[in-house]
Amino acid sequence: MGSERLLDPLIAAADRALRAIAAPAHASRPYPGGPKQVLDETERRESAALMRVNHAGEVAAQALYHGQALLARSASTRDLLLKAAQEEADHLGWCEQRLRELGSAPSLLNPLWYAGSFAIGALAAAFGDAASLGFVAETERQVEGHLGEHLRRLPTGDAGSRAVVDAMRSDEIAHAAVARAAGATELPGLVRELMRGTARVMTRTAYWI
């Protein structure tokens, strides 16, 4: 019986991983994208590259939350993390749909992004729930800035991608606020810089691959 209790979370984590990287994403909330817009080829390629980066970011977000939930100390923290992961799954579905509309596809390196991010999330959780929630708050703060940059870079006429990114950005702001209210601690400056550096590697690579 004890071994089953140990195995159950690992089986659940493996199932969530397969769903995030191998199964088509299904959003539980309505798709925020608007009617089809006519983009020239340069605009289409730029929008597709940026939305591929956003999709990779959502794969990574799923993995971070799943890794953190696996080692969360309290049920309330675990529930908070899994609820946020479900909302990030909506983002995954929205980004997949927008990529299809743009005639493009997700990053080929999504399994790598998931595996690396899961390990980082588990490591953050190993330092306790307050540190783990601090990692959530800082991650979402950085993602908010990243999405704001994409709103500036997306072609002016691409209302569909803009609507998706804007809806995602609102959720990220809310996730950070929830984590802070739940007792998140401020992360050291060095950790925040390492997080930025890791994110830069992923976003620059996913833009092309």
Q: What is the pLDDT of residue 36?
A: 74
Q: What is the pLDDT of residue 150?
A: 95
Q: What is the pLDDT of residue 158?
A: 94
Question: What are the residue ranges spanned by the domains of the chain?
Answer: 43-206
- Whether residue 151 contacts residue 165, with contact meaning beta carbons closer than 8 Å, is answered with yes
CATH 3.40.50.300 describes domain 43-206:
no
Q: What is the pLDDT of residue 21?
A: 63
Q: What is the pLDDT of residue 3?
A: 47
Tens of pLDDT along the chain (209 residues) come to: 444 555 556 555 555 665 666 556 678 889 997 777 789 999 999 999 999 999 999 999 888 999 999 899 999 999 999 888 888 889 999 999 999 999 999 999 999 998 999 999 999 999 999 999 999 999 999 999 999 999 999 999 999 999 999 999 999 999 999 999 999 999 888 888 988 888 889 999 999 98
Run of H or E including 127: none
| Torsion angle defined by CA atoms of residues 180, 128, 80 and 30, in that order, rounded to the nearest 10 degrees | 80
Residue 116 C-alpha from the chain's centroid:
13
- This model's pTM is above 0.95: no
Alpha carbon distance 72, 133 (integer Å): 10
Q: What is the pLDDT of residue 20?
A: 63
Q: What is the pLDDT of residue 105?
A: 93
